[in-house]
């Protein structure tokens, strides 16, 4: 279903190594209070064929991320993956509708759901996972909308402690691993210190206080292809990197736009939109930052790819 377009196949092994080296270098340059666990690299393989996943897995990569339910179901049950990647760990990083939770919990080798943004979704996952009677709880992260953009999923920063408490108290089959955010593209490119990342760090502090746990016991999932080093230096323990490893994403052109060649990517974050909670202005969600942010076309976020020369 994923067409190969005209572009040259990326050298995945080389690009993966390049990213891992940069992850490790960024981890070494973290301030002392953020040193500790090595950050985890999640290779985001959305839209890419299973063969690329097998290639990355074979060279040592274990954590992979997908953000469309159906695509994750297909890849995780692909015989090619099942036979070659026994120890692969899937992260779900997209918008999850309550009526699709059984599909997600049924994914072989599901490691974590990073995008829990409501009590209802947490309960649905909890119940679904509980019925499967796997030995250990399902790891989840609370997704926080740090940029206040309407097209981004997640709870408001001020709502994160309550949702974390709900998971702890009402969802025995879930384990809260930490907090996740996407952040705005603008914040990640213009500010010296990304305010959205700082927001998530602050949010973790409040959640840790509410739960009575140490801050560093909660993970932070933040940072993508264009900003993962900065994210690690700010405290990220889980970076989600796609196009820098697998090459720019391309989608098969729609029949009516075949002449245009490269089709643009569907907006992954609109898939994360929580239509029920986003207010018209988006400003209400901005608890960590007072500056207004310019909305940037989501396609720009994904147009960055590694120059393979
Ligand atoms: C696609 C995606 C990524 C990876 O994006 P790149 O810019 O290709 O690294 C990370 N996180 C989420 C939630 C995504 O949807």
Distance 44 CA to ligand 1 centre (A): 6
Integer Cα distance of 173 and 257 in angstroms: 46
pTM of the model: 0.82
Cα 158–41–264 angle (5° rounding)?
Answer: 80
Distance 180 CA to ligand 1 centre (A): 12
Distance 212 CA to ligand 1 centre (A): 31
The residue whose CA is least distant from atom 5 of ligand 1 is: 242
57-108 pLDDT, tens digit per residue, is 999 999 999 999 999 999 999 999 999 999 999 999 999 999 999 999 999 9
**What percentage of the chain reaches a pLDDT higher than 70?**
78
The residue whose CA is least distant from atom 15 of ligand 1 is: 268
Is the predicted pLDDT of residue 279 greater than 80, yes or no?
no
Q: Which residues are 118's β-sheet partners? A: none
Integer Cα distance of 197 and 65 in angstroms: 20
Q: Which of 5-9, 116-120, 247-251 has the highest mean pLDDT?
A: 116-120
140-196 pLDDT, tens digit per residue, is 999 999 999 999 999 999 999 999 999 999 999 999 999 999 998 887 777 688 999
Integer Cα distance of 168 and 171 in angstroms: 6
């Amino acid at each position: 279903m994923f067409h190969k377009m005209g572009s040259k196949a990326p050298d995945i092994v080389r690009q993966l190594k390049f990213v891992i080296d940069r992850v490790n270098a960024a981890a070494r340059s973290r301030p002392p209070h953020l040193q500790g666990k090595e950050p985890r690299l999640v290779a985001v393989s959305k839209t890419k064929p299973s063969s690329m996943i097998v290639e990355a897995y074979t060279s040592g990569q274990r954590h992979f991320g997908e953000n469309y339910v159906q695509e994750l179901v297909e890849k995780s049950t692909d015989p090619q993956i099942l036979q070659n990647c026994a120890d692969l760990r899937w992260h779900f990083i997209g918008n999850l509708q309550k009526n699709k939770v059984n599909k997600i919990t049924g994914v072989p080798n599901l490691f974590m759901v990073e995008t829990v943004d409501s009590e209802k979704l947490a309960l649905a996952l909890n119940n679904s996972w509980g019925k499967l009677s796997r030995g250990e709880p399902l790891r989840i992260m609370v997704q926080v909308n740090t940029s206040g953009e309407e097209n981004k999923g997640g709870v408001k920063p001020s709502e994160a402690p309550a949702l974390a408490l709900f998971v702890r108290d009402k969802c025995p089959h879930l384990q809260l691993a930490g907090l996740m955010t996407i952040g705005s593209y603008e914040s990640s490119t213009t500010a010296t210190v990304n305010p959205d990342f700082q927001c998530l760090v602050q949010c973790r502090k409040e959640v840790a206080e509410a739960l009575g746990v140490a801050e560093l016991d909660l993970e932070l999932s933040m940072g993508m292809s264009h900003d993962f080093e900065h994210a690690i230096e700010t405290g990220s323990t889980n970076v989600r990197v796609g196009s820098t490893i697998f090459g720019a994403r391309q989608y098969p052109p729609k029949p009516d736009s075949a002449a245009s060649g490269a089709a643009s990517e569907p907006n992954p974050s609109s898939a994360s939109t929580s239509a029920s909670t986003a207010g018209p202005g988006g400003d209400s969600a901005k608890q960590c930052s007072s500056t207004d942010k310019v909305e940037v076309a989501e396609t720009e976020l994904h147009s960055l790819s590694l120059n393979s020369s």
